[in-house]
Amino acid sequence: MSRKRTKNKLYWIPVITLMTGFLFSCVNDLNDVKKISYDPKDPSEVTKDLEVFFTDSGYPKIRLYAKLSETFNFPKEITKFRKGLRVEFFNPDGTLVSTLTAQYGEIQTSEGIMVVRDSVELYNFQKRQRLKTEELIWNQKDSVIYTNKSVVVTEPKGILYGQGIRTKQDFSEYTFIKPRGKIDMKK
């Protein structure tokens, strides 16, 4: 009987050794995993149906909607909106003043600017004026929107054309860089 016990004990030694080997051999080095699965062209973060509010003293200042948001952290931090976006601007009492829409946009975080392209439209609800262009740049630090591209401004008084424009983000005032157009000057 003692031979049988010794035989059973000897049987467990290779099993325990094998199990210990499995436990300690299953270590994944994070750098090795990144080499296999990391692509620097892929975004660091992806958000679908993004809705972001920027508020001041409880009142909305800006609301941003995007169907798809992709944030890239390398070589510099950029958030891209490839499936379009809508930005709403509010006055200090929380009333919606203007909207900015485009088919594409990107926020360059370190520069504090947003660039929007493709079917860009800025609309002021109170003045019923609409700006259309193919590209606008919004400097978030000083709340100025501008472009050097061709622009069309439609308002109740007429249609204005120009090459380049500079405006406040609420589109209440604007300056053409090179204007041309036709305005109805009725009293």
Percentage of the chain modeled with pLDDT above 90: 57
**Is 150's pLDDT higher than 70?**
yes
pLDDT band for position 98 (50/70/90)?
A: very high
Instruction: Output the CA torsion sign for 98, 83, 115, 130.
Output: negative
pLDDT tens per residue, range 7-43:
566 667 777 777 776 666 656 666 665 566 666 678 8
In the numeric block, which tokens belong to residue 140?
A: 């978030």
In CATH, what class is 41-183?
mainly beta
Whole-number pLDDT of residue 80 = 96
What one-character DSSP code corresponds to residue 186? -
Measured from the Cβ of residue 165, the count of other Cβ atoms closer than 10 Å reads 26
Measured from the Cβ of residue 8, the count of other Cβ atoms closer than 10 Å reads 9
Residues forming a β-bridge with 105:
81, 116
